[in-house]
């Protein structure tokens, strides 16, 4: 039996009335969310423990009675068409187990995004809090592991957590490990900018920043810098007091100085300095030349014009011995023109719904600010990396669409008492 729970007003906002499942079932869902997200940093095996737990989470959602919100139907249709293009492109690479597995992974991740969106559309704050706590904890632990591995803190640590002199924790690739750390870092930074600063928050940001540096991923560094700028801008624009805006500017400046000091300390270690000097170059040897990244992207552009149905998973790599490292070219090459256009449309639509709801004063506004900031950085990083199978990307997708649905219901529920400006936020 469902019960209605009304929370106390927060920060001058009207109280939030949310229909949730019976208390025991809802607590069960929160526990499963926490465990599933906590396992998301273990990604060196396929399928990962997180993948198995997502099946458990889906079953729990059925038991709890999590409903599909009609405001998520656009995301569902776009993901359906995108995967439809991927299935059609399989005809170009028939009978290959790894290509079938690749397409199955795309379908699974799309379903995961829909599941997360449905989860966050109801009882939003409790479910977001469970996810946030687990994500910050697992990111902190995997960051510690990456740092220990890079510094060879104990026997075998380097080989486990930082092979090839780049921290990667329990991931297969440091270029995925780095972006995984960004959203939790933004969540803590946003809290420091707008509300309070604690020693624990400073420690978390410091560890995550150090691990991000030691991943030596230029794409992740750019992603983090861009996402921080977007987050600061959104926090400033959505602040309701001049004193808060001033605090954001001051704390932002101090945080930048602190991060510069942290980087300077780390670069005082010779082995870190040498790797940083090598990775900090705008162009690497694998970017240029006949077999370089940019040449492969030129070939990929020609290939997508030649194959309107796509080349299928790994089709381009099997022909040219390497991937093109651009998720937008990947979308056309693997999912065909239908899938490629749909993928780009999905990103633009997600940014649009995020911008429509991020300026609405809801209790979950800080989550939407950080999710939009991280998503923006991920969209930009897609020009230099294939991110269509990043699990945390689909989590961000689910967060944005779930909060869009929750915001719409929030405004409709309090139409009699909300300011006219809120109506404008939804209308425009």
Stretch among 65-79, 163-177, 314-328 having the lowest mean pLDDT: 314-328
Residue 418: left (phi > 0), alpha (psi -120 to 50), or beta? beta
Give the sign of the dihedral formed by CA 99, CA 105, CA 108, CA 109: negative
pLDDT of residue 72: 95
What is the Cα–Cα distance from 71 to 135, expressed in whole angstroms?
Answer: 26
Q: Can you give the pLDDT at residue 427?
A: 45
- Split at pLDDT 50, 70, 90, the class of 18 is very low
Residue 20 falls within a domain, yes or no? no
Torsion of CA 71, 76, 78, 82, to 10 degrees: 170
- Residue 35 falls within a domain, yes or no? no
- H or E element at residue 6: strand 3-6
Query: Which tokens in the block code for residue 285?
Result: 């040897």
> pLDDT tens, 102-160?
899 999 999 999 999 999 999 999 999 999 999 999 999 999 999 999 988 888 888 89
Q: What's the whole-model pTM score? A: 0.87
How many whole angstroms separate alpha carbon 348 and alpha carbon 342? 10
- Range ranked top by mean pLDDT from 15-24, 48-57, 97-106: 48-57
Average pLDDT of the chain, as a whole number: 85
Q: What is the pLDDT of residues 365-424, one digit of tens each?
A: 999 999 999 999 999 999 988 888 999 999 999 999 999 999 999 888 765 444 444 445
- Three-class DSSP labels, 353-418: HHHHHHCCCCCCHHHHHHHHHHHHHHHHHCCCCCCCCCHHHHHHHHHHHHHHHHHHHHHHHCCCCC
How confident is the model over 404-413, as pLDDT tens digits?
999 999 888 7
Per-residue pLDDT at 231: 96
Are residues 20 and 130 in contact, defined by beta-carbon separation less than 8 angstroms? no
pLDDT at 74: 96
Residue among 310, 361, 363, 409 at smallest CA distance from 90: 310
Q: Estimate to the nearest angstrom the gap between the alpha carbon of 283 and the chain centroid.
A: 26
Helices (H), 156-217: 157-161, 174-180, 182-194, 199-214
Using pLDDT thresholds of 50, 70 and 90, give the confidence band for residue 2. Answer: very low
Q: Look up residue 4 and give its DSSP letter.
A: E
Are the C-beta atoms of 275 and 55 separated by less than 8 Å?
no
Would you state the pLDDT for residue 6? 37
Would 3 be classed as within a structural domain?
no
Give the pLDDT band of residue 14 (cuts 50, 70, 90): very low
CA distances from 115 to 82, 121, 203 (A): 17, 10, 32
φ, ψ of residue 18 in degrees (nearest 5): -130, 135
- Say if residue 316's pLDDT is above 90: no
Q: 89-92 long-range CB contacts below 8 Å, 24 or more apart?
A: 89/309, 89/310, 89/311, 89/312, 89/313, 89/315, 89/334, 89/335, 89/336, 89/339, 90/312, 90/313, 91/309, 91/312, 92/307, 92/309, 92/310, 92/311, 92/312, 92/315
Which residues contact residue 145 at a Cβ distance below 8 angstroms, ignoring those fewer than 6 apart? 157, 160, 161, 169, 170
- Residues 253 and 201: their CA atoms lie apart, in Å, by 17
Neighbours of 19 (CB within 10 A): 12
Residue 128: closest CA among 7, 249, 234, 4: 7
| 3: three-class secondary structure by DSSP | strand
What's the rounded mean pLDDT across residues 34-59?
92
Phi, psi (5° rounding) for residue 20? -130, 170
**Count of domains forming the chain:** 1
Whether 9 maps to a domain, the answer reads no
Mean pLDDT of 47-56: 92
- % residues pLDDT > 70 (the chain): 86
Say if CB 374 and CB 37 are below 8 A apart.
no
pLDDT, residue 212, reads 94
Q: Is residue 309 part of a domain?
A: yes
Residue 147's pLDDT is what?
94
Residue 56 lies in a domain: no
- Give the pLDDT score at 22: 55
Share of the chain above pLDDT 90, in %: 57
* Confidence (pLDDT) at 304: 78
Give the confidence band of 252 by pLDDT, cuts at 50, 70, 90: very high
CA–CA separation, 60 and 37 (whole Å): 14
pLDDT beyond 90 at 182 = yes
Residue range of the domain that includes 284: 73-427
């Amino acid at each position: 039996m469902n019960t209605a729970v009304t929370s106390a007003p927060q920060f001058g906002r009207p109280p939030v009335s949310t229909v949730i499942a019976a208390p025991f079932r809802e607590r069960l869902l929160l526990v499963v969310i926490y465990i599933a997200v906590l396992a998301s940093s273990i990604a060196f095996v396929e399928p990962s423990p997180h993948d198995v737990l997502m099946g458990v989470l889906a079953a729990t959602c059925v038991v709890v009675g999590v409903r599909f919100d009609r405001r998520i139907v656009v995301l569902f249709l776009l993901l359906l068409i995108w995967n439809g293009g991927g299935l059609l492109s399989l005809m170009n690479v028939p009978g290959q187990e790894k290509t079938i597995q690749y397409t199955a992974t795309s379908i699974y991740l799309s379903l995961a995004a829909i599941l997360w969106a449905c989860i966050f559309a109801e009882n939003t704050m409790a479910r977001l809090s469970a996810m946030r706590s687990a994500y910050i904890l697992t990111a902190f632990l995997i960051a510690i592991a990456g740092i220990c591995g890079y510094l060879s803190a104990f026997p075998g640590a380097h080989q486990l957590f930082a092979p090839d002199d780049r921290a990667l924790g329990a991931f297969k690739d440091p270029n995925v490990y780095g972006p995984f750390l960004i959203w939790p870092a933004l969540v803590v930074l946003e809290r420091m900018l707008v509300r309070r600063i604690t020693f624990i928050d400073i420690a978390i940001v410091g560890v995550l920043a150090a691990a991000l540096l030691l991943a030596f991923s230029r794409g992740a560094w750019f992603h983090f810098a861009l996402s921080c700028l977007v987050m600061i801008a959104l926090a400033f624009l959505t602040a309701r007091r001049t004193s808060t805006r001033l605090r954001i500017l001051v704390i932002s400046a101090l945080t930048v100085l602190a991060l510069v000091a942290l980087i300077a300390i780390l670069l005082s270690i010779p082995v870190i300095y040498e790797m940083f000097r090598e990775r900090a170059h705008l162009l690497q040897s694998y970017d240029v030349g006949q077999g370089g990244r940019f040449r492969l992207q030129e070939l990929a552009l020609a290939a997508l014009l030649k194959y309107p149905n796509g080349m299928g998973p790994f089709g381009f790599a099997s022909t040219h011995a390497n991937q093109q490292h651009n998720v937008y070219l990947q979308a056309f090459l693997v999912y065909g023109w239908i899938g490629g256009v749909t993928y780009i449309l999905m990103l633009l639509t997600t940014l649009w719904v995020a911008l429509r709801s991020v300026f609405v004063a809801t209790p979950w506004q800080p989550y939407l600010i950080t999710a939009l900031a991280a998503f923006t950085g991920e969209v930009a990083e897609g020009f230099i990396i294939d991110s269509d199978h990043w699990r945390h990307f689909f989590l961000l997708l689910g967060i944005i669409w779930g909060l869009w649905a929750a915001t719409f219901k929030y405004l409709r529920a309090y139409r009699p008492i909300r300011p006219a400006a809120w109506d404008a936020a939804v209308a425009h």
